Every structure is written in C-alpha cells, then in structure tokens.
Structure 1
Amino acid sequence: MTPSAYRAGGAATAIRFAVGECSLGSILVAASERGVCAILLGDDPDKLVRDLQDRFPRAELIGGDPEFERQVASVVAFVEAPGLGLDLPLDVRGTAFQQRVWQALRAIPAGATVCYADIAERIGAPRSVRAVAQACAANALAVAIPCHRVVQRDGGLSGYRWGVERKRKLLDREASA
C-alpha cells in the first residue's frame, strides 16, 4: 500500500482478511498485495473487523480464502510457539518516527525485553520516551512488530494495546521457547 493510499484510508486497495482463534483470544490477520498490514488481537471478532474497517475505511475488504487462511494459520502458530519464527512480508505504514521505533522493536530478540528509554536511545531520540510509547500503542501488527517486548524501566509490565495479560503470556512463551 502506498503512503498516499494509506492516508486515504486504503482507497483503491484490496485487503484480504480472516479472523481466527488462538490461546490469546480472537486474532485478525489482514494483508494488502504488499504484505500483512494488520494483526489484531482481542476478545470480540466483530470488534476486530470493525477496527480493520476503521483503519482502512475506503479499502475493499475481502474475506479470506483457503490460501490466505494458511497465512493466518502461520501467524497463529507463531503466537502459540514463538520459536517457529514468522517470515511473512509486511506492509508497515506509519510516520517516519513510528517506522524507526518499529524497526528497533523488530531487532529485539524473542525472549528479551527492553524499556521505552532503551528504544528512544537506539533510534537516536533519547528524550522521546513518550513518543516511543505512543508509537508502540499505534502498532497494528501484533507479534510481527513485537511491542510486547517493551517494559517499564523497572521491568514491570505496562500498557499493551491488546491487554497486559496477553503481553504477559507472550513474554512467558518467548522466555520458555
């Protein structure tokens, strides 16, 4: 998806999606022709679909076909067993700052955690700790961009877009993988 298409709500873009279930609840996976553009977690499948519709109000949303549902299965398998790795093309859209944060998040190895200040340092913006937290909150690619690996300076778990308990479960799985 081009940046202008993203800003236009996904206009003239076809997005395939499917909703599945995993041990963390419902999971929605969506992809444009460039790659996976959303991995959303929650308790209500309908709410996840509405979130996708709100994110891309002008896109053509197409329910998943059997081939696409295999991609969803690979994301679910990664959630359940992070050691498998996730090698799917991503269609990541955000501001230049968000992109830098998300790239730094992808460099955190499974099983490791860092604090928001560490990410701010890594991207060369040490005073932007709050902006780093906001970029984490704006991440629409759960597990593919591992914002769950960012914790408070004291190691405590703080806000996670999809719930702190999901964050804890993801971190526990990665630590035991």
Structure 2
Amino acid sequence: MITHTEVDSPVGTLTLVAVDDALSGLYMEQQRHRPPQESFGERDDAPVFDETRRQLRAYFDGALTRFDLPLHFVGTPFQQRVWRALQDIPHGTTITYGQLADRVGSPAASRAVGLANGRNPIGIVVPCHRVVGSTGSLTGYGGGLERKRHLLDLERGALAAF
C-alpha cells in the first residue's frame, strides 16, 4: 500500500512516501525528477512517518548524523547499489562522483553514477547531497544547489559542535 504525507522543514515542505511500513520517497518542492503527485497514493499517516519526522527534526537540529529507517528502494539494480553506497558517506563529508563510482565497483561509470544519484528517491535520508564534482564544486542536486549548500553547511556546523 502506497501512502504519503507532508512535513515542514528548514528546506521547505517535504513529501514523504511509504510503501507499506517502509519509507520509499522523500521529495522536496520543485525537485527535479519528482514523480507526479498521483503516484504518491492516499494521504495517510503510516507508522514510518512518525519516526521519519522525529529523525528529520533531530537531523535539522544537528543531533542526528545517520538515519535509521526502514527503506524501500524502487529502481534498477545499479541505481539501488548507488543509493545504498550513498548511505555510507559520513555525515559532514563529501565525495566525488568518481569516488562513488569506485565504491560501487564501476570506476569508469561516474556519469552513470551521477544519473543514479540524481534519481535518488529518498533525498536527505539517503544523502545524495554529499556528492560533489571532481573539483569539489557543488553540482547537480535535484533539490537545487541552494538546498544542497544548506544541507552541507548544516552538517559541517553540526559536526563542529561535537
């Protein structure tokens, strides 16, 4: 069963989508590659949404550095490999698309990794914002570069507080 809800955040309203009891989507307003609203199912308050809200609040408060939620990925096997690898990028750090390609065992596939990264359906929780260009520049974030900068600044500030 697919359900959704919306939550306010420092980066705007977020739409949470669940398949049964697992988070399958976290989308920002005007996000590139955002599925159509009708694909989000009925508006409901699935149990996973309460825990997602709690963890998002803690993340934005600087108290949470790693999400622990049941996730349901819908994508190709390659995309899913990339999305799982994103979860291993430490809070407050960044890696390049090339480094991510190495981590998923496809060192020549940095462009394909970038495309998979851009299609990440569970933003913030699956931290695609931690991937940067080869020179360290902020590039290609589906939620917009301003949001990417905000999330990275938040994490670096939270990291310095520990």
Q: Provide TM-score, normalisation by structure 1.
A: 0.79
User: How many aligned positions are there?
Assistant: 155
What is aligned with 1:122?
103
Runs of 5+ consecutive residues of structure 1 not aligned to the other structure? 1-13
CA contact (8 A) 1:104 1:122 kept: yes
CA contact (8 A) 2:5 2:17 kept: yes
Residue 22 of structure 1 aligns to a residue in which SS? coil
- Per the TM alignment, residue 62 of structure 1 is displaced from its structure 2 partner at its CA by 2.0
What is aligned with 2:125?
144
Cα RMSD, aligned residues only: 2.2
Q: Deviations over 1:23-82 (max 9, x none)?
A: 1011011111140010001159xxx7x6342xx3xx7x2212385652352253145135
What is aligned with 2:61?
81
Runs of 5+ consecutive residues of structure 2 not aligned to the other structure? none
Q: Deviations over 1:107-130 (max 9, x none)?
A: 001001000000111111111111
Identical pairs, percent: 34
What is aligned with 1:160?
141
What is aligned with 1:15?
2
Match of 1:35 among 22, 26, 37: 22
Specify the structure having the higher radius of gyration (Cα). 1
What is aligned with 2:36?
51
CA contact (8 A) 1:30 1:39 kept: yes
Assess, with a 3 A threshold, how the Cα gap between structure 1 residues 63 and 103 changes in structure 2: closer, same or farther.
same
Q: Which amino acid aligns with 1:80?
A: F
Assess, with a 3 A threshold, how the Cα gap between structure 1 residues 69 and 98 changes in structure 2: closer, same or farther.
closer
